[in-house]
Structure 1
Amino acid sequence: MEPQGVVGPAWRRQTRSEHRWLAVVVVLATIALQSLLPSEFVLRPGWLLPGLSTLLVVTLLLINPGRIGKHGRMERTVALFLVAMVSATNAASAVQLAEGILRATITDHPTSVLVSAGIVYWTNIVVFSLWYWELDRGGPARRASGTEQHPDFVFPQMSDPELAGKDWEPTYPDYLYLAFTNATAFSPTDVMPFRPWAKVLMMVQAVISLLLALLVVAWAVSALKS
């Protein structure tokens, strides 16, 4: 508890919750990118991901078109289901891409391989950014209510209040940056995971990103030699 008369940082007190619009835009843009994947890398039927994802996004916006509510259990359930569905679909695309590279069944389409790998890699970043955003301290609604005293992720601005203003608190772009740096460095950079689930989730993301990168590099070396 803060001493009387002392206002703590925004991430530790009750604040206004953030909008979901940026996350929705990123998800829809990523789904649009997924539509560019070759048919052999797409989970069948092809309309499943864009159709259900669009339906879930519309449902989220109908439930709460403004800021994320503090007690939106239905909203949170739909949001987590959307993230889980995109995660499963991208995992299927990654497996099919890896299988095509390992079995050398897609060597005649170098541009397709590189574009597909880039889309799967980016979607992996988006998927984990959404998981981090939805799970850290119980999600955006619970973070806004200030009910969780101990963070799952510690951002630099949280460990040293002098680095940011008193109204700073993590929002979706911070979690997108966390997912991006973890996917490219294969390890934490400036954001540290404190809870076991956060460490495991970051480890899983790093392993997936590393395997994708190694497979594409190995395929590129093999293609250059042939």
Structure 2
Amino acid sequence: MADEDAPTAHDERAEAEHRWPAAVGALVILTSYVTLSPELFGVVRYGVAVVCLLLLVPIIVINPHRLRRQTTWSRRVSVALVLIIGVTNQVLLVGLVQLLVANTEDGPTVLLAALQVWLTNVIGFALLYWEIDRGGPVVRTQRRRSELPPADFRFPQDEDHDASPEVAAHSSKSSNWLPGFVDYLYFSLSNSMAFSPTDVMPLTHRAKLLMGLEAFAGFVLLALVIARGVSLLG
């Protein structure tokens, strides 16, 4: 007779997430900051990149391979890092919009900067979603599901348990699946391109506001880039 009190696969802790996908995403953002045209954003971008790098180093040190450990200070540093990146991206976006509207810089330079800002925005929001959802990457895997904070986002895997067997095999209920950085990166990319939720639904006010801000930023940037491209062709 089975032990009714024995934990099911759904109640077990998930395997800790790898550190490097998110770390590589952060490094791509910092590289983009450093390589932005100096005529556009000056030397401030170097200062922001240095500050973010200094915050990133201790986060990697405490969890060099998999995200298993979290302290109060490491959580604060992680959140501070994604917030600095998020605010910087929005400041860069506003500056880029002003340049696109003013039409004072040469076309290729501005269009390349637009691509860089758009890319950093996608990765930056992915990091932010990854950091806030269900308590963050460490809490998501190191606590049982019954102990997790309420979710900010609903993924398809969270409701696929009653689908066909080959689909249900990957569901949260069947395989104890939990979202990782690549999942947040994908839906950040789709949200920035489609300007609306695709397969991932926001569940909380903060999630809706963040996704709305990302979609609005992507729409404004794309509209102005297309307009600038048309003016260059003319």
Fold shared by both chains (TM-score > 0.5):
yes
Equivalent position of 2:205 in the other structure: 196
Q: Distance in 1 between matches of 2:18 and 2:84?
A: 22
**2:193 aligns with one of 176, 184, 197:** 184
Counterpart residue type for residue 135 of structure 1: I
CA distance in 2, matches of 1:163, 1:212: 40
2:58 maps to which residue?
A: 59
1:45 aligns with 2:54: no
**Structure 1 unaligned blocks of 5 or more:** none
Match of 1:129 in 2: 126
Structure 1 residue runs of 4 or more that deviate by more than 6 Å after TM superposition:
none
SS of 2:117 mapped into structure 1: helix
* Contact 1:101–1:215, Cα closer than 8 Å, also in 2: yes
Task: Kindly indicate whether the alpha-carbon contact (under 8 Å) linking 2:19 and 2:63 is maintained by their aligned counterparts in 1.
Answer: no
- What's the CA shift string for 1:65-118, capped at 9, x where partnerless? 243245422111111111111122222221111111111211xx2211111111
Q: Which residue of 2 aligns with 1:218?
A: 227
Superposed displacement of residue 5, structure 1: 4.7
Confirm or deny: 8 A CA contact 2:193 2:218 kept in the other structure. Answer: yes
SS, match of residue 35 in structure 2: coil
46 and 166 in structure 1: CA distance in 2 versus 1, 3 angstrom threshold: closer
Q: Do residues 30 (structure 1) and 39 (structure 2) align? A: no
SS, match of residue 105 in structure 1? coil
Structure 2, gaps ≥5 residues long: 162-167
Instruction: Check the 8 A contact 2:154/2:203 in 1, yes or no.
Output: yes
| Greater relative contact order, per chain length (Cα 8 Å cut-off, separation 6+) | 1
For 2:73 and 2:148, the matched residues in 1 are separated by 20
CA distance in 2, matches of 1:186, 1:99: 22
The alpha-carbon deviation at position 4 of structure 1 amounts to 4.1
Q: Is the 8 A contact 2:22 2:181 kept in 1?
A: yes
What is the alpha-carbon distance in structure 1 between the residues aligned to residue 204 and residue 88 of structure 2?
27
1:148 counterpart letter in structure 2 = L
Deviation at 1:204, TM superposition (A): 0.8
SS in 2 for 1:35: helix
Between the aligned partners of 2:54 and 2:128, the Cα distance in structure 1 is: 19
Contact map agreement 1:41 1:93 (CA 8 A) in 2? no
* Displacement of 1:31: 1.5
User: 1:148 — aligned with what?
Assistant: 148
SS at match of 2:44: coil
Using the alignment, how far apart are the partners of 2:55 and 2:127 within structure 1? 15
Q: Tell me the distance in 2 between the aligned counterparts of 1:81 and 1:34.
A: 17
Paired residues for 1:34-113 under 5 Å: 34-42=33-41, 44-106=43-105, 109-113=106-110
Amino acid of the structure 1 residue aligned with 2:76:
T
Equivalent residue for 1:170, pick from 158, 162, 179? 179
Q: With structure 2 as the length reference, what TM-score do the two structures score?
A: 0.85
User: One-letter code of the match for 1:22?
Assistant: P
8 Å Cα contact 1:153/1:193 also seen in 2: yes
- Distance across 2 between alignment mates of 1:85 and 1:105: 29
Which residue of structure 2 lines up, in the alignment, with residue 159 of structure 1? Answer: 159
State the AA in 1 paired with 2:156. Answer: P
The Cα of 1:55 is off from its aligned counterpart by: 1.2
Identity of aligned residues (%): 35
